[in-house]
Amino acid sequence: MSARRFEGQVVVVTGAAQGIGRGVALALAGEGARLVLADRSPLVEEVAAEARALGAPVLVAMVDLETWAGAEQLVAAALAEYGRVEVLVNNVGGTIWAQPYQEYTPEQIEAEVRRSLFPTLWCCRAVLPDMVARQQGVIVNVSSIATRSIYRIPYAASKGGVNAMTASLAMEHAQNGIRVNAVATGGTDAPPRRIPRNAQPLSAQEQAWYQGIIDQTVASSLMHRYGTIDEQVRAILFLASSEASYITGTVLPVGGGDQG
C-alpha cells in the first residue's frame, strides 16, 4: 500500500472545518493531495493552514452547500484553480435537533433535509459534468448508520436519500469511469464542535432525548462503543483511493458492527 495514494490528485472535501471533514482533509494532505476545502465556517482557514504545513496546495471555498449556487461556485473555483476534480468527499451534514418525530416542526424537518441531503445532491450534480467529460472520477458520500435510529427521523431520511443516490449514481455512471460509494459512519467521538449545529441551550427534556441517541447507538454497536475520527477517515480514504478500484455502489457501515 502506498503511503501517498493521492499524490497530485485534486480532492474536494466539503464540511472540512471540523470533525471528520477536518480529519479527512489532513489525512489527504499527508498523502499528497491537492485540496479544495469547502465550508461556510471561517474555521476552515485553520484547517487549510494545517494542511499547507503538511505540504499540500490548498484552495479554500467559503460556500453554503445547502444551495445549488454554493455547490456550483465550489466546483467552478476548483476547476479554475486546478483544471479538474478527481475526488469529491461529501461530508456536510449532521443532526440539528434530537427529539421524537412528532416534536419536530415543519420548519425543523425542512432544515434537517437541507443540511443533510441537499449538499450531497448539489455537489454531485455540480461535479459530474467534469468527471463525465474526463471519463474518470471518484465520489465518496458520508452517510450514517442513523438510517435505523431514534429521535432523528428527518436526519435518518436524509441519509437514506444519500444511500439511495450513492447506489443509483454508481449504476448510472460506471460507464463513465466514475466510482460512487458511501461510508455510513457510526457514533464517533470528536472534540466539542466550536460552532454547534444547534446554538440554543438544551432543556432537560432535550438533553434526555440526546442521551437516548447515545445510549441506542452504543447498544446497537456490536462493539458497544463509539468510534474515533481516524477510524472513519481510514474508511473514507480507502474508498476514495485506487485500492478500492473494483468497488462502486457500496454503502460501507463503519459502526462497530451496526449495519444501519
Q: Is the per-residue pLDDT at 73 higher than 70?
A: yes
- The answer to the question of residue 5 being in a domain is no
Q: Contact at 8 Å (CB) between 137 and 127? A: yes
Q: Mind giving me the DSSP string for 146-189?
A: GGS-SS-HHHHHHHHHHHHHHHHHHHHHGGGTEEEEEEEE--EE
Mean local confidence (pLDDT), 66-87: 98
Q: Is residue 155 flagged as an active site residue? A: yes
Q: Is the per-residue pLDDT at 80 higher than 90?
A: yes
The pLDDT value given to residue 2 = 56
**pLDDT tier at 254 (50, 70, 90 boundaries)?**
very high
- The average confidence (pLDDT) of the chain is 96
- The answer to the question of residue 259 being in a domain is no
- The answer to the question of residue 1 being in a domain is no
Residue 162 belongs to a domain with what CATH number? 3.40.50.720
- The answer to the question of residue 164 being in a domain is yes
Cα R_g (the chain), whole angstroms: 17
- The answer to the question of residue 44 being in a domain is yes
**pLDDT tier at 198 (50, 70, 90 boundaries)?**
confident
Burial grade of 144 (CB within 10 A; 0-12, 13-18, 19 or more): buried
In the numeric block, which cell numbers belong to residue 195? 460552532
Residues 240 and 179: their CA atoms lie apart, in Å, by 9
pTM: 0.95
- The answer to the question of residue 57 being in a domain is yes
Q: 143 Cβ partners below 8 Å, 6+ apart?
A: 159, 162, 163, 166, 182, 183, 184, 185, 251, 260
* Catalytic residue (one of 82, 151, 155, 210): 155
How does pLDDT run across 91-121, given as a tens digit for each residue? 999 999 999 999 999 999 999 999 999 999 9
> Which domain, by its residues, includes 158?
10-254
Mean local confidence (pLDDT), 46-68: 98
Q: What is the largest CA-CA distance in the chain?
A: 53
- The answer to the question of residue 69 being in a domain is yes
Mean local confidence (pLDDT), 52-68: 98
How does pLDDT run across 132-172, given as a tens digit for each residue? 999 999 999 999 999 999 999 999 999 999 999 999 999 99
Q: How many domains does the chain have?
A: 1
- The answer to the question of residue 260 being in a domain is no
The pLDDT value given to residue 3 = 80
Mean local confidence (pLDDT), 64-86: 98
Q: Is the per-residue pLDDT at 12 higher than 50?
A: yes
Q: Is the per-residue pLDDT at 199 higher than 90?
A: no
125-129, 185-189, 200-204: least confident range: 200-204
Q: Contact at 8 Å (CB) between 127 and 36? A: no
**pLDDT tier at 1 (50, 70, 90 boundaries)?**
very low
